[in-house]
Amino acid sequence: MEALASVLNKKYKLASSENFDEVMKALGVGWMTRKVGGTVNPVIELTENDGTYTLTSQSTFKNTATVFKIGEEFEEETPDGRKVKSIITQEGNKLTHVQKGEKETTIVREFTPEEVKMVITVDDIVSTRIYKAV
């Protein structure tokens, strides 16, 4: 938990995104959502209270809050409306988020005070999204 202290309560905005449309296609996300999802630049923030983390994402497309404890499975609805079972584990400043549904998605978020590097993998498709501190 210590490793994340310096990145809590900080806002990061999406600055670059590669291959995200391919990942959304692999997940079966419909055309409209792909078009909108591909153009927004969400702002994310990680907060913590007594071992419970909340990762918020705000954009004109959707506002979401993912509430979790490290290593404890939870149910989650993805931005495109799929219900998945998720687990988030921590290694230093890196959170690995695995979503199990019809397909398995792995989202690695590496936090530094300057940026969050997000790597999303579905099947053999990889998307990298960089969020910069605002």
- Those residues whose C-beta lies under 8 Å from the C-beta of residue 54, and which sit 6 or more positions away, are 46, 47, 48, 65, 66, 67
**Contact 111/25 with Cβ under 8 angstroms?**
no
Does residue 86 touch ligand ACD according to CB under 6 A?
no
Pairwise CA distance, residues 115 & 127, whole Å? 16
Site residues for ligand ACD, 8-47, by CB under 6 A, read: 23-24, 27, 29, 33, 37, 40, 42
∠ CA 89-23-17, nearest 5°, is: 85
Nearest residue (CB) to ligand ACD, 50 versus 124? 124
Q: Following CA atoms 104, 84, 77, 58 in sequence, which dihedral angle do they give, to the nearest 10 degrees?
A: -40
When binding is defined by CB under 6 A, the residue of 7, 12, 46, 57 that contacts ligand ACD is 57
User: According to CB under 6 A, which one of 46, 95, 107, 116 is a site residue for ligand ACD?
Assistant: 107
Rounded least distance, CB 25 to ligand ACD, Å: 10
Among 7, 12, 53, 59, interactor with ligand ACD by CB under 6 A:
59
Residues that bind ligand ACD in the complex, under the rule CB under 6 A: 23-24, 27, 29, 33, 37, 40, 42, 57, 59, 61-62, 64, 78-80, 105, 107, 118, 120, 129
